[in-house]
């Protein structure tokens, strides 16, 4: 059977299919390690953002380090901080994020 794409080639030999290669346990172990690291980064980045901002780092710098924009960093931080920190610390960091977002909107 030939296809429309190969009719004009004059070669009716079938295209060889790659041999399936078994997935090694090393490959699966590496995939599991990467998934664990991704989950660790997702869980720990809001607390690191929190401590960095309390130490005086700007929300824009924190967001850039996390490779997200300030709004996304604020959302991630809020989801964590809503139940993880006291009111005073929450308000200090939230205010820093809010000020940074306002600067982005009204430079």
Q: Is residue 15 part of a domain?
A: no
Containing domain of residue 99, as a range?
45-107
Q: Is residue 61 part of a domain?
A: yes
Residue 8 has which token pair?
A: 């004009």
Cβ atoms of 62 and 23 within 8 Å: the answer is no
Phi, psi values for residue 17, rounded to 5°? -95, 140
Residue 36 has which token pair?
A: 């664990």
Report the number of distinct structural domains present in the chain: 1
Q: Is residue 82 part of a domain?
A: yes
Task: Give the model confidence (pLDDT) of 53-68 as tens digits.
Answer: 999 999 999 999 988 8
How far does Cα 54 stand from its chain's mean position?
Answer: 23
Q: Is residue 86 part of a domain?
A: yes
Task: Give the model confidence (pLDDT) of 20-73 as tens digits.
Answer: 777 778 888 899 999 988 888 777 789 999 999 999 999 999 999 988 899 999
pTM over 0.75: no
Q: Is residue 10 part of a domain?
A: no
Cβ atoms of 62 and 53 within 8 Å: the answer is yes
């Amino acid at each position: 059977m030939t296809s429309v794409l190969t009719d004009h080639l004059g070669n009716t030999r079938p295209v060889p299919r790659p041999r399936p290669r078994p997935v090694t346990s090393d490959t699966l172990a590496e995939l599991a390690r990467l998934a664990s690291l991704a989950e660790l980064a997702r869980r720990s980045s809001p607390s690191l953002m929190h401590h960095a901002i309390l130490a005086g780092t700007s929300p824009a710098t924190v967001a850039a380090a996390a490779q997200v924009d300030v709004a996304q960093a604020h959302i991630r931080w809020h989801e964590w901080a809503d139940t993880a920190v006291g009111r005073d610390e929450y308000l200090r960091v939230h205010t820093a994020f809010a000020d940074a977002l306002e600067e982005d909107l009204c430079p």
